[in-house]
Structure 1
Amino acid sequence: MKMKLVSFVILCTLLLVPTIASAEVTNGSIGFGLTPGRLGAIVAAVVGLISMVIGGLSLARSAGRIGIGNGRAGAIVAAVVGLIGIVLAGLHLANSNGGFGTGNGRAGAIVAIMVGLTGMVLAGLTLARSSRTG
């Protein structure tokens, strides 16, 4: 199981690094690379991704695929971490000025909100399953 998780993290890193490296600011004043806006959106997205991983693992545990138990504790952690990711992304989205493609991370914040919501949905599914079987 740990090998699958390590493989997943390596795959996500390999997919994320070229995207960050090729990010371009359209106004030309900053150039290529990470801007503070993009960095804030990436942090929120990583927190949401952690929520998705924990939620998926707890859902698998509640289905009896890995470990023992009903996965309820993992689901609660995934819901809290997902909520933190959504709040971070929402604050970033509210405080960023400019449109898409300006380096402010607005699109990344929207993606981070969706990733955090997905983690919370996985947590909710786990909690629903654990209340039926427990």
Structure 2
Amino acid sequence: MSVRRLLTAAVVGLIGGIGLAAPASAHTSVQSAAATVYGPTFDRIWASVAALLAIAAVVIGRLALTRSTRRIGNGGRRGAVVALGAGLIALVNGGLVLATADGGPGTGNGVVAGAAALVLGLIATLLGGLARARSLRTS
């Protein structure tokens, strides 16, 4: 898959996700304001794990991108595949957290970490795809 197709798919997915989130956000504005929740909830833990996975995937994707230009070793192919897989998992989980959230930040739904996982997962997926494309080109 070319880098241009990968970027196009990522942008279309992001725009589609925003379009699907708009009706959900309109629905939550009608509901009464929920009380602020302190402490861990299931949704916060789920979103935090997805965000940590996304951070790790971004780091691995950056390392794979750096290694993809070298002629020694496997050119960062394994790292690129790991960054792609982990980035997609974080992207999907961040989107699911945001889709199932009943309120905004501070309600115990993990909205902030879910948004971070969504954005960082997209970045990791792009880095992994770019590293994979470069490693295939240099071999």
1:51-66 matches, within 5 Å, as 51-64=57-70
Partner in structure 1 of residue 123 of structure 2? 118
Aligned counterpart in structure 1 of residue 90 of structure 2, from 85, 92, 95: 85
Kindly report the root-mean-square deviation, in angstroms, between the aligned alpha carbons of the 2 structures. 2.0
1:13-24 matches, within 5 Å, as none
- Match of 2:132, SS state, is helix
Runs (4 or more) in structure 1 with deviation over 3 Å come to: none
The TM-score with structure 1 as length reference comes to 0.69
Q: Unpaired segments of 5 or more residues in structure 1?
A: 1-25
CA distance in 2, matches of 1:45, 1:133: 32
Q: Unpaired segments of 5 or more residues in structure 2?
A: 1-33
Shift of 1:42: 0.3
**2:35 counterpart of 1:27:** yes
Partner in structure 1 of residue 43 of structure 2? 37
The code of the aligned residue for 2:135 comes to: S
Count of residues in correspondence between the two structures: 106
The TM-score with structure 2 as length reference comes to 0.67
Residue identity (%): 44
